[in-house]
Structure 1
Amino acid sequence: MSLFTDWFAETGWVELTWLGIGFLAQALFSARFLIQWIASERVRKSIVPEAFWYFSAGGGAMLLAYAIYRRDPVFILGQAFGLMVYARNIYFIWNERQSESRAEP
């Protein structure tokens, strides 16, 4: 057997599930940069689209769950702080929308 198949055979399903969650979370988290890049290219200036914050929050929350499972205090602290920033930006977006809808006749 190869090193990979030995590792796969010895690794439990719980570990493999969390590994899958970790990779999915990282993909979601990384996709936000692609979204930001495409949006900036379209208008030919640097912008941060709303979807960037949703991908940040979703990927960050999943990565925080993964970090807690792995019991990595550095990773936990980094993701927890990031989630506060993402949540605050989403709050500003929603608050601005609500203010605009109240201002419309």
Structure 2
Amino acid sequence: MILENLTKKEILVLAIGFTGQFLFFMRFFIQWIYSERRKKSMIPTAFWYLSIAGSLVLLIYAILRRDIVFIAGQAFGILIYLRNLYFISKEKTHHT
């Protein structure tokens, strides 16, 4: 088996990577359920929070793997997700 030859550190790094991928997947799952309930395509605020959480965990994984392409991609994505949350909070303050 592949896992039997891994060190504890390598297993921890893999666990971090899979956790990030799971969080990233959950954002699409939540968006799908949210849209199904409303019978139209919509993006809930939770999508952006899961995007940030997943990206942060995957960024840690990418740093541990020393993968500059993956690091750049995740770091840039986090900025976009934060910007979307900013727009959402700005919209809510204008409607209250």
**TM-score (norm. length: structure 2):** 0.90
Distance (whole Å) between structure 2 residues aligned to residue 73 and residue 24 of structure 1: 20
Q: What displacement does 1:15 show?
A: 1.3
Bigger Cα Rg: 1
- Per-residue deviation at 1:11? 1.7
Who is 2:19 aligned against? 24
Q: How many residues align?
A: 96
Aligned twin of 2:8: 13
Show structure 2 runs of 5+ residues with no match.
Answer: none
RMSD of the alignment, in Å? 1.4
Equivalent-residue separation in structure 2 for 1:8 and 1:38 (angstroms): 34
Q: Does 1:76 align with 2:37?
A: no
- 2: distance between equivalents of 1:46 and 1:8? 40
Aligned to 1:58: 53
| 2:66 aligned partner, one-letter code | R
Give the Cα separation in 2 of the matches to 1:17 and 1:94: 36
Quote the offset at 1:12 in angstroms: 1.4
